[in-house]
Amino acid sequence: MSKVYAKFEVPDEIQNKALEALEIARDTGKIKKGSNEATKAVERGQAELILLGGDVEPEEIVMHLPALCDEKQIPYVIINKQNDVGAASGLDVGSAAAAIVKAGKGKELLDEVVGQITALRG
């Protein structure tokens, strides 16, 4: 958690639920993969949740996203490994960021994750 953009520690349980919500949204809803696409989704107000890789190098690739999410009031969660974000997005490689645009059948799970993140941030 030495990253500049990691403002709070996210327990593994919440990370796993967020990744599961991303997988469900990938199959039944709509997601955006990569930091550029995630940034566009936030700027356009389309994103319901942003997942950021916690081990992104160089960190400048995603360090703007937490501030942008705060400005647009979009929840975000930092996942320890960007490979997990990529795998949940359906990629064979890591992804610095991903956005859930439409939750699909995972709406209840997404709402639970968002509630837990909101409570965690205080």
Tokens 């967020």, residue?
18
In angstroms, the first-to-last Cα distance of the chain is 19
Per-residue pLDDT for 13 more than 80? Answer: yes
Is 110:45 a contact under the CB 8 Å cutoff?
Answer: no
**Rounded to 5 degrees, what are φ and ψ at 97?**
-155, 160
Question: In this structure, what CATH number is given to the domain that contains residue 80?
Answer: 3.30.1330.30
Domain coverage including residue 31: 12-121
In a domain, 2, yes or no: no
The mean pLDDT value of the chain amounts to 93
| pLDDT number for residue 4 | 67
Token couple for 43: 């700027």
Structural domain count of the chain: 1
In a domain, 22, yes or no: yes
**pLDDT mean over 109-118:** 96
